Amino acid sequence: MILRNIDWQLLVAHEVAMAENLGIKQISVHRYSSVLPAYEMALEDVVDESQALESKVWFKNGGIITNLKPKMVTLKEAARGRLHDQGFNDESIVFEEYLNMRYRGTESSLMIINPKSQITAELPENGGNWGFGKALVQQHEQEFGFIV
C-alpha cells in the first residue's frame, strides 16, 4: 500500500491541522510511513470466524452440551478445512469458542469465551472443557455488579 501523491498531501495536511490544534510547532513524517501499515497488516494473525444460530436454555447439569457441542465441532472442522486450504497446518491453528449468553428474562447478552477454549487443532475433543456457565456468572458480575 503505497500512498499516491494526493494521499500524501492529505496525510501531511491532516498532521499539520492536528499539530496546530495541539500547539506543536514541528512535525516529522517518516519517509516509509506509507509502507508501515502494509507491513503491519502482513504480521497480523489470520482469523476464520464461523457462527451458527441457536437458541437453547442452559442447565447446570450440562444437558445442553449434547446439542451445542456437535455444532461447535462442525464449525471448527469447517474452519480447519478452510485454513488448511490457505496453507496452515494444525500446529498453527488455535480455536476460541464463544457463546452469546444471557440470563432468562434479561435483555443484555454477553459474548462468553470458553475459559478452556484455547484448543489447538491437533488436540482431541472431550466433554469436560465447557466452562460457559461459570464464565457467564463471572462476567455478568464483572460487567453489571450482580448475579441473577
Query: For 120-136, what is each residue's pLDDT tens digit?
Result: 555 445 445 678 888 89
Q: Classify residue 34: in a domain, yes or no.
A: yes
Q: Classify residue 85: in a domain, yes or no.
A: yes
Q: How many domains does the chain have?
A: 2
Tell me: pLDDT of 7 over 70.
no
pLDDT of residue 26: 86
Cβ proximity of 82 and 48 under 8 Å: yes
pLDDT exceeding 70 applies to what percent of the chain? 82
127 and 72 in one domain? yes
140 and 85 in one domain? yes
139 and 94 in one domain? yes
Kindly state the average pLDDT of the residues 68-77.
Answer: 92
Q: Classify residue 116: in a domain, yes or no.
A: yes
Burial 56-68 (b: 16+ CB within 10 A, else e): eebeeeeebbeeb
Question: Distance (Å, rounded) from C-alpha 113 to C-alpha 29?
Answer: 41
Question: Distance (Å, rounded) from C-alpha 32 to C-alpha 10?
Answer: 16
Cβ proximity of 27 and 15 under 8 Å: yes
Q: Residue 92's domain spans which residues?
A: 65-144
Q: Classify residue 94: in a domain, yes or no.
A: yes
Kindly state the average pLDDT of the residues 79-93.
Answer: 93
Q: Classify residue 58: in a domain, yes or no.
A: no
